[in-house]
Amino acid sequence: MNESKSIAFLLGNLTMGGSEKKIVRLANRLSEKGHDIHIIAIGEPYTLHSQIHKRVSIHCLDRRFKYSLRALLNLKRYLVINHIETILCVNLYPLLYGWPVCVLLGTGSHRCLAAVNTSELRSFRDKIFMVIYSFILRRCDIVIFGSNGQKDAWVGKYSLDGKRAVVVYNGVDTALFQKDEEAAIAVRRNLDIDARTKVIGCVAQLRPEKAHRNLIIALNHIVNSGRKRVVLLIVGDGPEEKKLRNLVAHYELSDHVRFVGKVDDVRPYLSVFDLFALTSTSVEVFSNAVLEAMSMGIPVVSSDVGGVSEMITHGKEGFIYSRNDLDALISHLQLLIENASLSSSFSASAKERVAKYFTAERMNADYIRLLGLGCG
């Protein structure tokens, strides 16, 4: 292990998103191993600040405008003062700061890595900016993708160097993500869900691309088909909450839906889930939320977004359906609700697959190698 190396993770902000939480956990773990680790946030919010270990150095650039030369020079000065020669830009926007600074400091002595946590660009504005991002990505030392499908798509579409493109699957702390029956009982009591009621769960920000609307429509069909003892538990908050609550009211499903909001620890709620649903129509790369559910032995029904087909074998750990195919979503949910034997089989297979392929230890080892930190 080379303890003299200093590594910086550059993020747009420290919000409670999956990518940000993953990097914070990774930074904490690397610091525990004795590495000099820095987390640099370009702008607000700084929500995850309290979850970063004291061993990890934190620096906020306090960006005030859409692009800040002041923040760029602040970053350059911080890297020089702390003798940081390797910087990992987490997603695309930080590349606009990280790569130019590496160029200013000398590309021969400073390495710029990029972790791309976006599966597809949806807006016209994003596609315009991709002209700049692809230019930078072609000049990064290493570009890290979350799945093989994502890597192949981006390498082909944006003419990236395939030799510098690698895949690092997300990993979950399997010891941490285990079902807690006492916590489950407490959550059921607090949310007024009796022990015989099946719980469909979802953990995601309430944004349009997460398509919670489809899940509520599917629930309405299931309830109207005669399955009354079923509850949808939605964990997360976001701009779509009012619309989703109105949709629940429209279908008269108030007795069957619980909005939990944003929580710091999802494990007590995951412990209640009988099955996990991911209905996203875009954006997902390799869902941390799905991996956490699988680690806790929860069967998954997921749309075919991002690298889900590399995470789940259809019909073994869960079901995969074509995004926006409501009939398939309904059918898969109903089957797992009604078929206890199938659900139990999926549960065991999900835990086994995560333990074999998607552990935090395996992910950390991959990053240690790519960051040049030896064998950790």
User: What global pTM score does this model have?
Assistant: 0.89
Between residues 94 and 33, which one has the greater pLDDT? Answer: 94
Strands 230-235 and 111-116: unpaired
Domain shared by 264 and 274, yes or no? yes
The predicted-structure confidence for 309-343, as pLDDT tens digits, reads as follows: 999 999 999 999 999 899 999 999 999 999 999 99
Q: Supply angle C-alpha 269, 270, 276, rounded to 5.
A: 125
Over residues 101-108, mean pLDDT: 86
Structure tokens at 219: 């629930």
C-alpha 50: how far from chain center? 19
Residue 375 domain flag = no
Structure tokens at 259: 């909005």
At 185, which helix (H) or strand (E)? helix 181-190
Domain shared by 205 and 300, yes or no? yes
Domain shared by 230 and 318, yes or no? yes
Domain shared by 222 and 329, yes or no? yes
Domain shared by 129 and 214, yes or no? no
Domain shared by 166 and 190, yes or no? no
Confidence grade of residue 107 (pLDDT, cut at 50, 70, 90):
low
The predicted-structure confidence for 184-199, as pLDDT tens digits, reads as follows: 999 999 999 999 999 9
Domain shared by 112 and 124, yes or no? yes
Domain shared by 270 and 147, yes or no? no
First to last CA, the chain: 6
Kindly report the CATH number assigned to the domain that includes residue 266. Answer: 3.40.50.2000
Q: At what angle do helices 241-250 and 212-224 cross, to 10 degrees?
A: 20
Count of domains observed in the chain: 2
Q: What pLDDT, on a 0 to 100 scale, did the predictor assign at position 349?
A: 98
Domain shared by 189 and 304, yes or no? yes
> Of the segments 76-85, 118-127, 279-288, which one has the largest average pLDDT value?
76-85
Q: What pLDDT, on a 0 to 100 scale, did the predictor assign at position 75?
A: 97
pLDDT > 50? residue 137:
yes
Domain shared by 87 and 124, yes or no? yes
Structure tokens at 5: 């190396």
pLDDT > 80? residue 100:
yes
Enclosing domain of residue 89: 6-171+359-370
Domain shared by 352 and 363, yes or no? no
pLDDT > 60? residue 1:
no
C-alpha 250: how far from chain center? 31
Over residues 115-123, mean pLDDT: 79
Q: At residue 145, what are phi and psi to the nearest 5 degrees?
A: -115, 160
Residue 1 domain flag = no
Residue 376 domain flag = no
pLDDT > 90? residue 3:
no
Confidence grade of residue 2 (pLDDT, cut at 50, 70, 90):
very low
